[in-house]
């Protein structure tokens, strides 16, 4: 699916590519390679902001890699060298912990939400969180393509499917679905004109990069299972990854997460 000029900035985020937040080691110090952080793609904008604050505070760089939670879990089982895993669905972390692939069960760091997203230009759909306009558009044959993350391995895709099933629209919309490898790619499809709209992460909708390009509305939280997001360190996590894990639980990082629409644990 070709990208267009209307695709939101940093289109690499749609395909789960990595970003490195780097820093120069202190004079005379032996630099530690930036730890690789595997993060669900709904975290892209929030986590880059948090990582920049961590670098400013500690001088340590990180390599942030974004993608679908299910794919990361499979890679971890295959020996991928991640030091911290930030999942969009805690079940993946708990299963890894049960099988000895993480240091422990980790901690719940946020609860996410899903939203309907439509581009500001080029779509006849409305940003209606109860999906009544989508229902009418499907009945009238006005939906060519509709984007969600792949529900086979992306938690936000699973929740999108559950919401559509709750609304009684799943069977009608299936022929029009275009599946993103992760929720960031689904958002790119929805904003670029490749689809008439989609269901994406609320955290992405609140980013400046997307807010200017689309219209969004939260879907009721009780239409789908909760997106309880959990993180855990890998057994071989180094000092920098452990410090970042702690940093993520501090007030400054939590405030950034809240600004991107996440509900926070007590």
To the question of whether residue 69 is assigned a binding role by annotation, the answer is yes
Q: What is the DSSP string of 41-80?
A: GGGHHHHHHHHHHHHHHH---EEEEEE-HHHHHHHHHTT-
Please name every residue paired with 216 in a beta bridge, in sequence order, or none if there are none: 117
**What's the token pair of residue 184?**
């960031």
Environment class of 196 (CB within 10 Å of its CB; exposed 0-12, middle 13-18, buried 19+): buried
Q: Compute the distance between CA of residue 249 and CA of residue 29 in angstroms, rounded to an integer.
A: 28
Environment class of 174 (CB within 10 Å of its CB; exposed 0-12, middle 13-18, buried 19+): exposed
**What's the token pair of residue 122?**
């080029």
To the question of whether residue 107 is assigned a binding role by annotation, the answer is no
Please name every residue paired with 112 in a beta bridge, in sequence order, or none if there are none: 227
Q: Compute the distance between CA of residue 266 and CA of residue 263 in angstroms, rounded to an integer.
A: 10
Binding residues: 69, 183
Binding residues for molybdate: 69, 183
């Amino acid at each position: 699916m070709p990208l267009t000029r209307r695709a939101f900035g940093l289109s690499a985020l749609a395909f789960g590519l990595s970003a490195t937040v780097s820093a120069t080691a202190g004079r005379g110090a032996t630099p530690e390679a930036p730890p690789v952080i595997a993060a669900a793609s709904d975290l892209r904008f929030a986590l880059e902001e948090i990582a920049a604050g961590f670098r400013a505070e500690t001088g340590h760089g990180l390599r942030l890699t974004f993608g679908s939670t299910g794919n990361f879990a499979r890679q971890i089982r295959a020996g991928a060298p991640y030091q911290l895993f930030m999942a969009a669905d805690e079940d993946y972390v708990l299963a890894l912990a049960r099988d000895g692939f993480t240091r422990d069960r980790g901690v719940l760091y946020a609860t996410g939400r899903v939203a309907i997203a439509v581009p500001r230009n080029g779509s006849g759909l409305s940003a209606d969180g109860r999906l009544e306009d989508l229902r009418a558009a499907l009945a009238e044959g006005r939906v060519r393509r509709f984007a969600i993350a792949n529900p086979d391995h992306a938690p936000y895709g699973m929740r999108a499917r559950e919401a559509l099933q709750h609304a009684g629209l799943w069977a009608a919309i299936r022929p029009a679905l275009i599946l993103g490898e992760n929720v960031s790619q689904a958002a790119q499809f929805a904003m670029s004109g490749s689809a008439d709209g989609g269901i994406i992460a609320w955290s992405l909708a609140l980013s400046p990069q997307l807010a200017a390009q689309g219209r969004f509305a939260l879907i009721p939280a009780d239409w789908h299972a909760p997106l309880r997001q959990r993180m855990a360190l890998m057994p071989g996590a180094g000092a920098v990854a452990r410090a970042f894990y702690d940093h993520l639980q501090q007030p400054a990082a939590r405030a950034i997460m809240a600004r991107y629409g996440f509900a926070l644990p007590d």
